[in-house]
Structures are given as C-alpha cells and as structure tokens.
Homo-oligomer: A and B are copies of this chain.
Amino acid sequence: MPHNHNDVLTKYVQTFIETLLQNGVEDVVISPGSRSTPMALVFAQYPSLNLYINVDERSAGFFALGIAKAKKKPAVLLCTSGTAAANYYPAIVEARYARVPLIVLTADRPHELREVGAPQAIHQVDMYGKHVKLSIDMAVPDSSEALLHYTKGAAARGYATALKAPSGPVHFNFPFREPLVPNKISPNETKKGTKNVLLGDGRTLSPNAKDELIGLLTLKEKGIIVCGPNISERDIPYLLHFADQWGFPILADPLSQFRCGEHAKDLIIDEYDAFLRIPELRPVLQPDLVIRFGAMPVSKALTTFISSNEVDYVVIEPGEEWQDPTGRVNHMVYTSDQEFSRSILPSIKREKQWTSTWRQYNDNSKTSIDAFYDNIEWEEGKVVKTLLDVIPTDATLFVSNSMPIRDVDTFLSKTDKSLKVLANRGANGIDGVVSSALGVSTVYQRTYLLIGDLAFFHDLNGLLAAKSYDLNITIIVLNNNGGGIFSYLPQSSEEEYFEKLFGTPTDLDFSHIAALYKGHYELIDNIRDLSQCIQANNEKQGLSIIEVKTNRAVNTETHRKMWNFVSQEIKKQL
C-alpha cells in the first residue's frame, strides 16, 4: 500500500471515480474550486467521460439534472467546499421529488479545519437533510487497504442507490488535506465487476442481470453459499434446490433455520466455525465464489475465511442496505432470496465432488467435538451441548448475544427437530434480551432463553412481564459471574485491570430475583441434574429460572482445548 501523501490521495480518488465509471457513470459536471482539485484532475484523465464545466453551482446542478433526466442514469456533480455546495440545494430538491438520479460530490476541509473558523468551512455533513437518499461523509484518505475496499463499495452503493427506484440524489462529502494535486494516473475505464451492483426492483431481476449472474456462476466450480439470519423459512426449499443444482455447500448460520427441521440436510455445513479455524485447511477449501443470503453470520471464523480470499463475493439484498462489513462484496444484487434462487440456475445440474469435500471435514469436526466433550464433566460448552440435546423438538430457543450465540453456533448440529432459534442480531446488544424472549413466549408455547449472567442482569426488570401476564418461559442463566466473552479477547491478558473493566463480576444471587417475580428456581452444577431439570421443566407453567454456575477460566480453557483437539484430528486426514 502507498504511504506518501500524493500516492494515497491519488489511489483513493481514482478508486472511487473508477468504480463510478465501471458502474456506468458517463457524465460529470464540475464547478471550479480548489478543495475539489484531486477529484477534478482525476476525472479529467478519463478520455471517454463527458466532462462539463459550469462556474455557477446552481446552474451546474440543474444542468446535471437535465442530463440525468434524459439518460435516466446518474450524472455526477462536483464542487468545492463552502456555499458552493449550498447552491446545489435547489437542483437536489428537484431531483429528489422528480426522481432523477444524481451523484453529488462535495469537497470539504479535513476534520481539524471544521468548526474552527477556517475559510469556506461550513456544516457539509448531511447538509441536504432528507432530500438525498444517501449521505456519506467519507474518510480523509489514508493508506489502509480496508479503506480502499470501503471506497469502492461506497461508490458502487452510491450509483445503485441513486438509480434504484425511486431514483434520486445521493451525496458524498470528501474531506481532503493539502497538498491537493494528485499524480498522473493510468485510467482504467473498462474493467468490469470490481463492484457490480445488479439491480432488481427488490423482487424481480432484469434479464440482463440474470444472464450476467448465470454467466458468472457457470464459470465457478468452487462456490459456497452462506445462509445468515433473516431468511424466510418459506424460501428454504428454493435455496436447497439452488445449492443442489450448482453443487455448492450451504454454510448455515444457527439463526438461518437451515440446521433444524425435516428438510434434506446433506448440503448443510454446520461445523464450519470449528474447522475453518484451521489454516492448513484453507488451500483445500478455498472457494472461487461466495454467495450470501441473509445477514452476516455469527461465526468470526467464517467471516475471516471469506474476507481473506480474492473471490467473487455475491450478496443478495432484498432491502435497501449495503451489508458488507468486510468490504469484499463485489456483486450486490438487489432482489429477493426466492427470485435469485429460482431464476439463477445452471443449464445442467452439477457434480457433487466439491460438496463432498466440505461434508467430510464437517462430519469429522462433529465427531471430534463429540469425542472431546465425552471427557468433559462440567463446563459452559457442555451445558449448551446438553441443552440442545434435551430441548423438546417443538421448542423455540431465544439466544442471548455475546457467548451464548457463539456456543449455539458451535454446538447446534443438524437435527430433524423443528427447533426454532432466535436472537437479537440487528445490533447484537445484550440489552432487552429477557424482554424480547418474553415477547416471543406470548407467541410460541415452549420458549427457552439461553442467557449469560450479565445480559440477564441487564434486563432483570423485564421479568415483571412474566409475572404480570403469567407467561411460560424457561430461562437458563449461564452464570460465570461477569463478562465471559472478554476472556477470549486480547484484553484478557491485562491482569491488573481485567476484572474491574471487563470481567465485571456482579456477585448477585439470582434466587432473590426468582423470589421477587415468583418464579421457579433451580441452581444446577452438574450435567445429570441439568438434563433432568430441563426435561422436568417441559411440563411446568410460568417463569422458571435455571441458574447454571460455571467458571470463566475453565470455559475459556476448555474451548481452546476443544478447538485444538478438532484441529489435530482434522489435520490427520490431510
């Protein structure tokens, strides 16, 4: 990566502009100014671009609007900082309501010159209010590679958002630090597909987009399908058929609902969080294509695996978002899961060799994990594994964030049980989990909540609803007296401050809480009692709190040993 100012600036601006051009931008209207110099000079080096100069930004705005209205595709506006940007406002408002796609680029001072009385420094962040469909205050150029990926994604997203029905204006504010003159570039206007946004109307795909996608998939032999949370259960058969036809395995997140139920599960990979941690496996399983349905999966091992390879990465987005924290997505397809999986199919059904390889490592991982836990008496993973074994087939399991959802990811193996697994993965918070599970319990008869002591403490007040409305819920509190997840992170070695700042033990006796809310309460410290208690609990009504005491240090140590054991077992096969 470049580190000198001019190289960094040039690369950053070129990446953004080239992605716009690769997505289809043909016209740019520039109003002269100093702060916008990096973009103006890079734009000027693309011979095929129609470049117009207009000194009055208000006129420039309406001129670009005319182009975009006639072409029905985004035109770009570029101006310098200050009132120049305010002069675009009338054209932006008109574009918003006339549904004309515009990409507005305003140059700005860097952060150290904002709100300190610098000349031409005004409030440019979100300055067009609700009149733009998207407003992004970009980063000051720097040399991080992640930023370049982000910049590509932002440009592609801006183009798609401006164009997607209803079309309209989008705004990018670019802070630039001096000196502002970029290097000469080697323009590349023709390379396609670095960030390819294929538009649907949210449901149907255009024939062109279909052809392009089928063409792309046909070239790939080692595709993997990632199914995250938020996939409709009605679409499961279509996605299974899609995977079967292409011969791609489905890496199924615990919240995808693909792991449980009576559907065929031969293509489902559920132990990836264990075996994708093994670096030696990567060459064997290296995909050339990733197709993601649903939101980001829980597994960090999976996210890292996908991000670390130069593959084509396709995301199906039924909404309006750009869900790609990896910055690696290069085909964002705005359509429904069902439309995609029903219409993007190969002409001939594929062989299964590639999926067999995946299944082999998956099966071995499962065997290794089971073997490892046969020798463990008592530990949080063992508790979760046992719970998933004995939970009734028609249960709904609400899983708290932090460690519980990770443990469920590790220990929830494919099963014909019709177990439903839910969690709050919108923002992954540990707040409100008790209340959300209680809300769920008003709808599903047998609701279980698996939660750590900190999240349970956080929403103790939520338990009043259980008492007020006589709700039926079994709450398994994994009480390791504090924040268990932090023990897995680098800060756990900061012994002097760790317990105070991260461990945060509360030393609370939750039996008082059960008494306060008139719930059943049991304190469990061995697996046999746990099994019996959960099975006995199936018949109970009302609020049941099962407090399971575990030890943070033992949990961390056992998990590490388990991953090592799996790794050794898998490596024997290589």
Partner-B contacts on A (CB < 8 A): 58, 82-83, 86-87, 89-90, 92-94, 96-97, 122-123, 126-127, 129-131, 457-458, 460-461, 464, 467-468, 506-509, 512-513, 515-517
**Which listed residue (B83, B94, B127, B131) contacts A94, Cβ 8 A?**
B83
Give 9 closest A-B pairs by Cβ, nearest first.
A86-B89, A512-B516, A123-B130, A83-B90, A86-B90, A89-B89, A512-B512, A512-B515, A86-B93
**In the assembled complex, how far is the CB of residue A24 from the closest CB belonging to chain B, in whole angstroms?**
28
B residues less than 8 Å from A460 (CB atoms): 460-461
Residue of B nearest to A85 (CB): B93
A92 CB, nearest partner CB in chain B, Å: 7
Complex: how many Å from CA A457 to CA B464? 10
- 5 example contacts (A-B, Cβ-Cβ < 8 A) are as follows A86-B89, A86-B93, A457-B461, A468-B506, A512-B515
Contact A464 B97 (CB under 8 A): no
Which residue in chain B gives the minimum CB-CB distance to A115? B130
Contact A92 B96 (CB under 8 A): no
A461 to B430, CA, bound (A): 14
Inter-chain contact B127/A122, CB cutoff 8 Å: no
- Contacts A464-B457, A515-B512: A82 and B93 contacting too (C-beta < 8 A)? yes
Chain B positions within 8 Å of A96 at CB level:
122
Using known A-B contacts A129-B127, A461-B458, A509-B516, determine if residue A86 contacts B92 with beta carbons closer than 8 Å: yes
Q: How far is the CA of A184 from the CA of B126 in the complex (A)?
A: 42
In the complex this chain forms, how many copies of it are found? 2
The smallest beta-carbon distance between A453 and chain B, in angstroms, is: 12
Contact call B83/A93, Cβ cutoff below 8 A: yes
Most buried by B among A82, A86, A97: A86
Q: Which of B83, B94, B131, B457 contacts A123 (CB 8 A)?
A: B131
Residue of B nearest to A510 (CB): B516
CB distance from A286 to the nearest CB of B (A): 48
A89 vs B123: C-alpha distance in the bound complex, in angstroms? 12
Which residues from B are CB-within-8-Å of A468? Answer: 506
The chain B residue with its CB closest to the CB of A58 is B58
**Cα A27 to Cα B513 with chains together (Å):** 68
A126 to B131 alpha-carbon distance, docked (Å):
11
Judging by beta carbons under 8 Å apart, are A129 and B126 in contact? yes
Please, which residue of chain B has its CB at the minimum distance from the CB of A56?
B58
Q: Which chain B residue lies CB-closest to A131?
A: B123
Select from chain B the residue with minimum beta-carbon distance to A84.
B90
Complex interface: chain B residues within 8 A of A129 (CB):
123, 126-127, 129
In the complex, the chain B residue whose C-beta lies closest to that of A122 is: B93
| Contact (A122, B131) CB under 8 Å given A86-B92, A513-B512 | yes
- Contact residues in B for A457 (Cβ distance below 8 Å): 461, 464
- Nearest-Cβ distance from residue A466 to partner chain B, whole angstroms: 12
- Taking CB atoms, residues of chain B closer than 8 Å to A87 are 58, 89-90
For the complex, give the distance between the alpha carbons of A509 and B464 in Å.
Answer: 12
Apart from A86-B89, A460-B461, list 15 A-B contacts with CB within 8 A. Answer: A83-B90, A83-B93, A83-B94, A86-B93, A89-B89, A96-B122, A97-B122, A123-B130, A126-B129, A127-B131, A464-B506, A464-B508, A467-B507, A508-B517, A512-B515
A75–B461 Cα distance when bound, in Å, is 54
| B contact residues around A86 at 8 Å (CB) | 89-90, 92-93, 131
Which residue of B is nearest A123, CB measured? B130
Who on chain B is nearest to A500 by CB?
B468
Question: What's the minimum C-beta distance from A121 to chain B, rounded to whole angstroms?
Answer: 8
Q: How far is the CB of A478 from chain B (nearest CB, A)?
A: 19
Q: Given the complex of chains A and B, what is the CA–CA distance between A468 and B507 in angstroms? A: 9
Nearest CB in chain B: distance from A28 CB, A: 22
**Distance of A507 Cα from B89 Cα, bound (Å):** 58
In the complex, what residue of chain B is closest to A119 when comparing beta carbons? Answer: B97
Chain B residues whose CB sits within 8 angstroms of the CB of A508 once the complex forms: 464, 516-517
Provide the residues of chain B in CB contact with A458, threshold 8 Å. Answer: 461
Distance to closest chain B CB from A106 (angstroms): 12
Docked CA distance A464–B457 (Å): 10
Residues of B within 8 A of A82 (CB): 93
| CA–CA, A464 and B453, complex, Å | 14
- A535 nearest CB across to chain B (Å): 28
Closest to A468 in B: B506
> Would you give the shortest CB distance from A123 to chain B, in whole angstroms?
4
CA distance A515 to B97 in the complex (A): 61
Task: Give min CB distance, A360 to chain B, whole Å.
Answer: 49
